[in-house]
Each structure stands twice: as structure tokens, then as C-alpha cells.
Structure 1
Amino acid sequence: MTVLEIAVQDVAGAVASATLGADRLELCAALAATGGITPSIGLLDAVLAALPAHVGVHALVRPRAGSFTYSVDELAVQVRDVRAAVRAGAAGVVVGALRPDGSVDPDAVARLVEAADGREVTFHRAFDTLDAPARAVDELVALGVARVLTSGGAARSIDGLVRLADTVARSAGRLEIMAGGGVRPDDIPALVGTGVDAVHLSASRHVDESGGPGGGSAGYTTTDPAVVAAAAAALGRHGVLDAVDRLQPS
């Protein structure tokens, strides 16, 4: 069965996603504005407390927006964040680190995997910036990474089907391959057809709400239960659409 992972940013989104069929959650902050950065431990604690144990929560560990090449201090912060997420009870972490030449930084990844202390480690879409992703699959397997999140190198994963299929073939079951990047529910059958192990989407909607002076005026994004339900239905999870109305905000 193809795993459904939803990227969430708040407790309500986590609960809705779990209720509507998500198998796993990636917990992050500022997803629309930054592509996702490390969530607070308070948010992680609250999400873990609100969910059934069978839904794995994987915390994104990314200290800032921008490139995936990190200074010594930035890497040290990430190691601390990984350890904190593990202590809080996260089932795994989502990380990624590159050398200045754009290749995988094996020393940084090894430190993050070690800090995860046996929890699952996902290498995020930094993978899509690599010049030699096929070779990186072998390297990440050797480093102890459990899965890779990739769009197949395209802006939207539906446009990266060929490379997704190639990555699945290269992994040969040694590494889980999860398709993500601009995924819409209608894309899911084609993505599953490449042989990926999981599909990842944010399933979000924009809330146009000003924070006034000092609070920003761009609004924010949150989970849209209808999109989660449609994604679950595309994966053959029946009966989820009936639950949407009671999860929609009043």
C-alpha cells in the first residue's frame, strides 16, 4: 500500500490529516513562506499528544530558508534540534545537507543520522538539486537514511515521472522513495504508477488574514481537509469524504 504523508503546520491540520487517512505527517513551520523550517518543540509536543500512536510524526529540521549548505554553527543547531525531536517522541526527522559543490554532505548527514538515534531519517528535496541523484541514492543508503523525498527534479512531481521511476529502480528497495512537490490529488495515480513507496503533499489552503502593524499582512496557510480526503480517496481509502464536513472550519 502506498503511504500517504501530509505536511502539516498546526495541531488542527495534524488531527484532520490523521482522521482522513494520512499514514504519516511531516511537521514543519512557515511552509508557504520558506518551503518549511523547524517547528517548535511546543508544537511537536502538542501534535504528538493529539494523535493516535499509529500515525508517525516526522519533524522537519531546517534552520532557515535558502540553500542546503550549512555552516558549522547551523549544523550544530540541527543536531540539537534532531535530538530534541527524538526526546519529544518524534518517529523520525526530515533533513538534508549539501556540500558547496552541490553534492551530498556525508559528514553532516552522518551526524544527523547519529543524532536521530535509530529513528527514521528522511532526506528532503535537497535531493532534487543534485547533479547525480542516482549516485546519491547509494550514498544515502550507506549513511543510514530511510527514505528520500523527491519531485523527480521537476518543479511539480507530475512533471518528473521519468526520473522518479529511475530513482525507484536505482533504490531497488534499499531506500524508500516518496514523491512530493506540488502534488495534487489528481496526480496521485500517475505518481503511484512510477512505483514510489509514498506520496507527500501539503494539502493546504491560504487564509488571508492580516496581523496588523508588526504582524504581517500576507496571511498564512493551513491544512485543507477536503484536499487530504481527496488524496486519501485517490489512494483507495474509502469512506473519508464523509468526514470532511465536520472537520471544515466554521
Structure 2
Amino acid sequence: MAGLAESGSNPDVDLLYDINGLAKDAPHWFDRIVEYVGEYGLLFAMVLLVLWCWWSVRRRGGEQAASSVAALVWAPLAAGVAVLVNVPIRGFVERPRPFLDHQGLEVLVSGKTDYSFVSDHATITMAMAAGLFVANRRFGIAGIALALLEGFCRIYMGVHYPTDVVGGFALGTAVALLLSPPASALLTPVLKAVERSPRAGWLIRARGRSADGQDAMVPGARREAPGTEERDLAA
């Protein structure tokens, strides 16, 4: 593997060959799995994680439901903003894909002709993970783990340098965290208006959940006194 590198003392290229070299030794079926996961699967998993967090927030309800959902809405929006910011960065740096400058790489995805720095996949997943972390720490940690796995897959696939991935992580995190306060200030009133809507309020809080997170009384229903159910069962 070291003979393939010819990279001198460049740790970025050396690490690229070390990680991508794993693809040479792995079975073909495993490389195909990594190709699909790194190109589409982890992005889809991140979207599912955000939806799962939204479902958890709306079922729990509470006074902060609207602000929590606003933070969740910001997560995919942050990813979109970060990708737009990356457009001029790529055009300014103009770094070719690693397989164009270095021989012997195992390239799992063909047809990549755009510039390499920074990685869009790493940017998107980390921006969503950082936004998710602001909304919910537990789900955010899971999102960060998915983003790190995405970065590893991009190097494994031979389509990005390690610094492309690190740059994407930094860009996604910066956009998500730095713009989170103004985004929350803009989105929270909108989501509170949605919460008050009789038709769209279910997007913020599950039906029958009150603002304090307790089950709301259905009109016309009679609340049982404590212990009534136990006495009925004893009878």
C-alpha cells in the first residue's frame, strides 16, 4: 500500500491511501454496500433520524414543543444553506478529485468530475447533525455518529481527501450553530402559529396533548377520580 502512495510527507494523501486501501482488501460485495451507504444510505438515515426526533417531540408536547420543532426544521435548512455556501468555496479552491492526481486508488463511484474541497456529503450530514443536536442532545449525538461514518465512507470510496471531509464537517457545523439563533427567532413564531391552527396543529403536538405535556380532556368526557379503576377491578 505504501508503494502505491508516492505521497512524500503529505499526511492528507497518506491517510487517503491508508483508508482507501481497505477497499482493495475488502470483498466486492462489501465495497458495493459501502458505495450505496456512502452515496445515499446515510443521507436517507439522517432524514429518518430528524423525522424520528420530530415524532418524539410532538408526542411529548409541552410548552417548548414549537421551539423544539423550529430547531428541527432548521436542521435540513442548515444543510441547504451550507451547500450553497460551499459553491463559491469549491470554485475558489478548485481542488481536483484525488483519483485525478494520484494513481492506484480504488474508486467506488465513477463520474465524479466536480471539485473535491469541501465534501458536500460531509457538509450536509454534519450540518443536519449539529442542528439536530441543538434540538435534542440524544438524537444529535446519533446524528454526529452518522456524519462521522459518512466522512469515513467518502474517503474509503476514493472520492475525497481527508481534509475535504474535515472541511465539510467544519462548514456544516459553523453554518448550523452560528445561524441557529436568528433561524430560531424567525421559525419559532411561525411554528407557534401552526401550533394554534386547528388543522395543522398536529404537526407540533399530538392530538390530545396539552401544553404541559399531559393528556388533554376530551370535551364531554368525565375524569375518573384517583383509585376508581382499582376499585372497579377489585369488585
TM-score range relative to shorter protein: under 0.3
Give 1 or 2 for the bigger CA radius of gyration: 2
With normalisation by structure 2, the TM-score equals 0.23
In terms of fraction of residues, the more strand-rich structure is 1
More helix by share: 2
